[in-house]
């Protein structure tokens, strides 16, 4: 493994705990998806590339030939421009009226999801004498953002004929991609709504749909979680979570560890502490339910996970030392195992890890 560089978190620069991001795995994942899907890819890099660091990952994806990037906010789009991104960036979420000019000055494509937006944008574009790139979002069953699929034909016509708005594409959002029957209903609504626009960029598929439903690919798909190697066995997780042992101590039989005495030693034990806690994104409800790795040997996490520290039973290890590394997440300990315990999704958990943990970028 080669370390390429290290970046700071929002609050920490000097930690004995960190997230490692494998850039070689990113490249392999993109190429695997590209070969499988055989259509253009929009890389979804919301929430700082799901906590992986968009400013580092996006230039690599741009070099590999990704078609465009999807972000949630204007600030995310501007950050990509500042990182040297030249290809289209689409703001998939809501854009406030007062921020439109920032979109224009940074060449960001705005998503249209209401008639009011069209009027506002046309007025501003006419005033400033420039044409604004937009994409139209159609609501086919997500019931969040978008113009209703039954009411969008006139909107499509107005956008197509607009002197000031340049319609670049049209898309919708699957509410339950793993449910093929309802996804098919949404696709039917989408096809009916945009049947008069055969040449426009169309996209409906997230990573799951892009991989599993070939007829959902159109001429563009949106891949997010797949690029980061989560939730699909043929892809490689980019992320590992590691910390160095800060203290090793003997705990006698029947003595508790950590708050609320949720774990008690059944025999004299050796306990290691690492400086990672729930403030770093490790949910407290994982206490006593997860494992770490020490030199490829699995060890049990014990006691309540605290704000800044987590403890492991290392009684069976040979000669562990303060400063040695314990791994909490990697290919053998996937974040999906945490998600299953917590009854949530991997997306949520990997996004949490960016708050305080520095990122170390590597290549294998």
259 is catalytic: yes
Name the active-site residue from 184, 259, 297, 298: 259
Give mean pLDDT, residues 148-175.
91
Name the active-site residue from 46, 137, 202, 242: 46
Give mean pLDDT, residues 195-216.
91
Ramachandran class of 343: left when φ > 0, alpha when ψ lies in -120 to 50, beta otherwise: left
Task: Give the integer Cα–Cα distance in Å for 222 and 208.
Answer: 10
46 is catalytic: yes
Cβ–Cβ under 8 Å, residues 328 and 313? no
Give mean pLDDT, residues 124-150.
91
Residue 205: is its pLDDT beyond 80? yes
Cβ–Cβ under 8 Å, residues 273 and 292? no
CA distances from 169 to 44, 58, 92, 190, 259 (A): 16, 21, 12, 13, 54
Residue 258: is its pLDDT beyond 80? yes
Mean pLDDT of the residues in the chain = 93
Position 260 confidence tier, pLDDT thresholds 50, 70, 90:
very high
Query: Could you give the domains of the chain?
Result: 68-219 (3.20.20.10), 239-363 (2.40.37.10)
Give mean pLDDT, residues 209-234.
96
Give mean pLDDT, residues 62-87.
97
Task: Average the pLDDT over each of 113-122, 141-150, 189-198, 297-306 and give the range with the smallest value.
Answer: 189-198
Cβ–Cβ under 8 Å, residues 219 and 199? no
Angle at CA of residue 102, ends 54 and 7, nearest 5°:
25
Residue 11: is its pLDDT beyond 60? no
Give mean pLDDT, residues 181-199.
90
Tokens for 267? 């025999």
Full DSSP string of 277-296: -GGGT--GGGTTT-EEEETT
Torsion of the alpha carbons at 331, 335, 339 and 340, rounded to the nearest 10: 20
| Per-residue pLDDT, 271 | 98
Position 97 confidence tier, pLDDT thresholds 50, 70, 90:
confident
Pairing of strands 109-112, 132-139: parallel
| Per-residue pLDDT, 125 | 86
Residue 9: is its pLDDT beyond 80? no
Residue corresponding to tokens 């998806």: 33
Q: 3-state SS of the chain: helix, strand, coil percent to 5?
A: 35, 25, 40
| Per-residue pLDDT, 8 | 60
| Per-residue pLDDT, 64 | 98
| Per-residue pLDDT, 7 | 67
Residues shown for the chain: 364
pTM exceeds 0.85: yes
């Amino acid at each position: 493994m080669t370390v390429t560089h290290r970046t700071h978190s929002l609050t920490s620069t000097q930690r004995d705990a960190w997230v490692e991001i494998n850039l070689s795995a990113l490249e392999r994942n993109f190429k695997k998806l590209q070969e499988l899907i055989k259509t253009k890819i929009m890389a979804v890099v919301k929430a700082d590339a799901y906590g992986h660091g968009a400013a580092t990952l996006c230039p690599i994806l741009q070099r590999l030939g990704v078609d465009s990037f999807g972000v949630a906010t204007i600030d995310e789009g501007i950050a990509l421009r500042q990182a040297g991104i030249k290809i289209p960036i689409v703001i998939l979420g809501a854009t406030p009226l007062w921020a439109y000019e920032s979109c224009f000055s940074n060449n960001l494509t705005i998503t249209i999801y209401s008639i009011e937006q069209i009027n506002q944008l046309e007025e501003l574009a006419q005033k400033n004498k420039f044409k604004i790139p937009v994409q139209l979002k159609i609501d086919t069953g997500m019931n969040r953002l978008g113009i209703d699929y039954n009411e969008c034909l006139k909107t499509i016509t107005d956008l197509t004929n607009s002197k000031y708005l340049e319609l670049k594409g049209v898309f919708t959002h699957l509410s339950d991609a793993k449910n093929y029957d309802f996804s098919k209903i949404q696709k039917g609504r989408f096809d009916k709504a945009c049947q008069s626009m055969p040449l426009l960029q169309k996209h409906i598929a997230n990573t799951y749909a892009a991989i599993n439903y070939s007829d959902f690919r159109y001429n563009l798909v949106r891949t997010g979680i797949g690029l980061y190697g989560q939730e699909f066995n043929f892809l490689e997780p980019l992320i590992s979570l590691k910390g160095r042992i800060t203290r090793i101590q003997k705990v006698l039989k029947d003595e508790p560890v950590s708050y609320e005495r949720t774990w008690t030693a059944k025999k004299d034990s050796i306990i290691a502490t690492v400086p990672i806690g729930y403030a770093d994104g490790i949910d407290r409800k994982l206490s006593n339910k997860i494992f770490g790795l020490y030199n490829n040997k699995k060890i049990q996490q014990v006691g309540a996970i605290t704000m800044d520290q987590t403890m492991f039973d290392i009684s069976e290890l040979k000669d562990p030392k303060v400063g040695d590394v314990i791994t909490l997440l990697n290919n053998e300990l996937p974040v999906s195992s945490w998600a299953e315990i917590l009854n949530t999704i991997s997306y949520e958990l990997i996004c949490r890890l960016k708050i305080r943990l520095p990122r170390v970028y590597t290549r294998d």
